[in-house]
Amino acid sequence: MSTMTSGGSLPELVSYQKVLKWLGVSKATFSRWVREGKAPPRFKLGGHVLFREDQLLAWLDAQEMPQATPSELEPGLYDEWR
């Protein structure tokens, strides 16, 4: 896998703390995702966990759920939103 972007420049790197804040999850939740194999791709450099922005955005896109029609929704599941 190449670490260069199509334009030849290095990808933007994002820190672990910024990812937690951006996703709105706790360290405990993220650690569980790592254990379950559900966390975004990451690497360690100089003792710091870092994320490539392009990979993080691709991972986020992959998490998107398809839009359900009202007939597909579980009855009562979203009643509190009405």
Number of domains in the chain: 1
| Residue 37 within any structural domain of the chain | yes
Residue by residue, DSSP assigns the chain as ---S-TTSSPPPEEEHHHHHHHHT--HHHHHHHHHHT-SPP-EEETTEEEEEHHHHHHHHHHHPPPPPPGGGSPTTTTGGG-
| Residue 30 within any structural domain of the chain | yes
Domain of residue 24 covers 13-63
Give the tens place of pLDDT for each residue, 39-75: 999 999 999 999 999 999 999 999 887 776 666 666 6
What does the pLDDT read at residue 39?
A: 94
What does the pLDDT read at residue 75?
A: 66
| Residue 5 within any structural domain of the chain | no
Residue 23 clears pLDDT 70, i.e. is over it: yes
Q: What is the pTM of this model?
A: 0.65
| Residue 81 within any structural domain of the chain | no
